[in-house]
């Protein structure tokens, strides 16, 4: 099964007909930002990934620190 993803709704296809288009659009943008690799504040390489809500770890230098829930630094999303 294709998990309900389509070109139009992307990863938010998992919600189906629930929650509304605007909310799904917001979720899609937030998830796109949080799942990409970010620059590590220690080694300056794009190797930082989200481990859990607010926990970030660099895959290169192994530093682990607390940051924002969606982005490593506290920034306004949406």
List the domains of the chain with CATH numbers.
1-35 (no CATH), 37-78 (2.20.25.30)
Please tell me the predicted confidence (pLDDT) of residue 16: 87
Percentage with pLDDT > 70 across the chain: 86
29 closest CA partner among 70, 74, 73 = 70
Predicted confidence at residue 22, as pLDDT, reads 94
pLDDT band at 10 (very low <50, low <70, confident <90, very high): confident
Put residue 59 in one of left, alpha, beta given phi > 0 → left and psi -120 to 50 → alpha: alpha
Dump pLDDT digits (tens) for 14-43: 898 899 999 999 999 999 888 888 999 889
Please, are residues 41 and 72 in contact by the beta-carbon 8 Å criterion?
yes
């Amino acid at each position: 099964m294709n998990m309900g993803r389509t070109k139009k709704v992307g990863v938010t296809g998992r919600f189906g007909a629930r929650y509304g288009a605007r909310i799904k659009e917001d979720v899609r943008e937030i998830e796109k930002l949080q799942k990409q690799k970010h620059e590590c504040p220690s080694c300056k390489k794009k190797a930082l990934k989200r481990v859990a809500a607010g926990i970030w770890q660099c895959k290169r230098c192994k530093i682990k620190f607390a940051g924002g829930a969606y982005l490593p630094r506290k920034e306004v999303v949406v």
